[in-house]
């Protein structure tokens, strides 16, 4: 991907060839720090990329019927029944807790950060923004920076959003290119992640009465619940439940060409839904294991995931079949 500089002409040009009246997936710049995605004439999500955020993230994520499936906090502080733990859990994001000892995961200004301190993922440029009848996409380049101002990694990202009457499907394609020698340390704190809405959590906090937590996670091996999913390797995991009387779910699919596939899952009953290939000694509960990985300039890592937001559960949504189709993609 060859990024270009953000400007008004870019955004107009990105939509050229696709009249707005015919675009089922509409990508729109909303000021310098946000890009909005509408599908079928309804809002789906916003992509926050401005200098005031410690990392790029999508928030909120919605079903085709408009139900929000992600937690509001910390972006929205007053959603009834939400817990306010882990302020770095912003919608959907992609970062890691130990890159050369710097913490790009728990990197909010309100947090101390682990190891050598906190890193931030900073927008370098926005590339193509494409709206279309069947799909639309966003391309952007980010720099993973440490407090000295040095860049450890360049991230080239493409997100493709598909039109569907019942599903919301997004493909993520992220390439991390090291600017210097980079080591991903072994920690559970990462990497591709969603923080789900309160009603989709498995655990009911003792001090919160409503909404009732209804979530259930299941993986490709039909193992269910945090005890049987967290720290296990699997091609996909689905997390489903009831929100405002509607049965909804969210699935993350691990592309079979990813590094160290199938991934480990850092999926918690309190609504954290993440996959992470590096946190081996935590996930295996074996301190003699080391999942760290060192890469040099010219040795990029490419990660691809598909997120499917669906009605019903993993069976009724056919997530197993969805994965079979996804793994055939080139």
Q: What is the number of domains present in the chain?
A: 1
pLDDT of the residue at 22? 59
Please check the confidence at residue 158 and state whether its pLDDT lies above 90.
yes
pLDDT of the residue at 269? 96
pLDDT of the residue at 111? 84
Please check the confidence at residue 198 and state whether its pLDDT lies above 50.
yes
Please check the confidence at residue 2 and state whether its pLDDT lies above 70.
no
Residue whose structure tokens are 């200098």: 51
- Residue 231 in any domain: the answer is yes
Percent of the chain scoring above 90 in pLDDT: 86
- Residue 64 in any domain: the answer is yes
Average pLDDT over residues 286-296: 97
- Residue 1 in any domain: the answer is no
Please check the confidence at residue 132 and state whether its pLDDT lies above 70.
yes
Give the pairing of strands 246-254 and 117-118.
unpaired
pLDDT of the residue at 203? 86
Query: Residue 226 sits in which domain range?
Result: 8-326
Average pLDDT over residues 155-174: 98
How many Å apart are CA 123 and CA 46, to the nearest integer? 15
pLDDT category at 109 given cuts 50, 70, 90 is confident
pLDDT of the residue at 1? 42
pLDDT of the residue at 305? 98
Please check the confidence at residue 10 and state whether its pLDDT lies above 90.
no
Average pLDDT over residues 132-151: 97
- Residue 252 in any domain: the answer is yes
pLDDT category at 23 given cuts 50, 70, 90 is confident
pLDDT of the residue at 87? 92
CATH classification at residue 69: 2.70.98
Q: What's the chain's length in residues?
A: 330
- Residue 206 in any domain: the answer is yes
Task: Report pTM.
Answer: 0.92
Question: Order of strands across the sheet with 92-96?
Answer: 25-29, 34-39, 42-48, 57-59, 92-96, 190-195, 272-276, 264-267
Residue whose structure tokens are 């817990």: 83
pLDDT category at 12 given cuts 50, 70, 90 is very low
Percent of the chain scoring above 70 in pLDDT: 93
Average pLDDT over residues 63-71: 97
pLDDT of the residue at 11? 36
- Residue 3 in any domain: the answer is no
**How does DSSP classify residue 281?**
H
pLDDT of the residue at 330? 86
pLDDT of the residue at 40? 96
Average pLDDT over residues 101-112: 91
Are 95 and 89 contacting, i.e. CB atoms less than 8 angstroms apart? no
CA dist 56 → 65, 95, 258, 267, 271 (Å):
25, 9, 21, 21, 20
How many Å apart are CA 115 and CA 21, to the nearest integer? 51
Position with higher pLDDT, 13 vs 187? 187
- Residue 2 in any domain: the answer is no
Average pLDDT over residues 212-225: 97
- Residue 286 in any domain: the answer is yes
Query: Which SS3 state, helix, strand or coil, does residue 71 take?
Result: coil
Query: Which SS3 state, helix, strand or coil, does residue 309 take?
Result: strand
């Amino acid at each position: 991907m060859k990024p270009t500089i953000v400007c008004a002409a870019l955004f107009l040009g990105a939509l050229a060839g696709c009249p707005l009246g015919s675009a089922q997936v509409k990508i729109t710049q909303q000021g310098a720090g946000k890009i909005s995605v509408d599908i079928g004439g309804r809002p789906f999500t916003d992509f926050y990329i401005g200098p005031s955020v410690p990392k790029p993230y999508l928030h909120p994520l919605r079903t085709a019927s408009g139900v929000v499936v992600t937690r509001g906090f910390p972006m929205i502080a007053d959603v009834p029944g939400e817990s306010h733990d882990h302020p770095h859990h912003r919608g959907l994001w992609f970062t890691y807790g130990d890159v050369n000892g710097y913490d790009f995961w728990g990197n909010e200004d309100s947090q101390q950060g682990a190891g050598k301190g906190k890193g931030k993922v900073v927008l370098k440029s926005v590339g193509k923004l494409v709206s279309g009848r069947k799909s639309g996409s966003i391309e952007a380049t980010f720099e993973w920076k440490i407090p000295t101002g040095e860049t450890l990694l360049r991230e080239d990202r493409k997100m493709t959003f598909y039109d569907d009457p019942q599903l919301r499907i997004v493909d993520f394609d992220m390439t991390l290119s090291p600017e210097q020698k980079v080591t991903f340390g072994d920690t559970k704190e990462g990497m591709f992640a969603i923080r789900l809405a309160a009603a989709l959590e498995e655990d009911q906090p003792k001090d919160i009465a409503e909404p009732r937590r209804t979530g259930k996670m299941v993986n490709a091996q039909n193992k269910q619940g945090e005890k049987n999913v967290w720290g296990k390797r699997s091609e996909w995991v689905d997390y489903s439940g009831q929100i405002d009387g509607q049965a909804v779910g969210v699935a993350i699919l691990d592309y079979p060409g990813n590094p160290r596939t199938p991934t480990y899952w850092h999926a918690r009953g309190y609504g954290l839904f993440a996959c992470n290939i590096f946190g081996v000694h935590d996930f295996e509960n074996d301190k003699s294991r080391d999942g760290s990985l060192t890469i040099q300039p010219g040795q990029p890592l490419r990660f691809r995931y598909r997120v499917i937001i669906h009605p019903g559960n993993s069976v009724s949504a056919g997530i197993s079949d969805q994965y079979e189709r996804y793994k055939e993609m080139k």
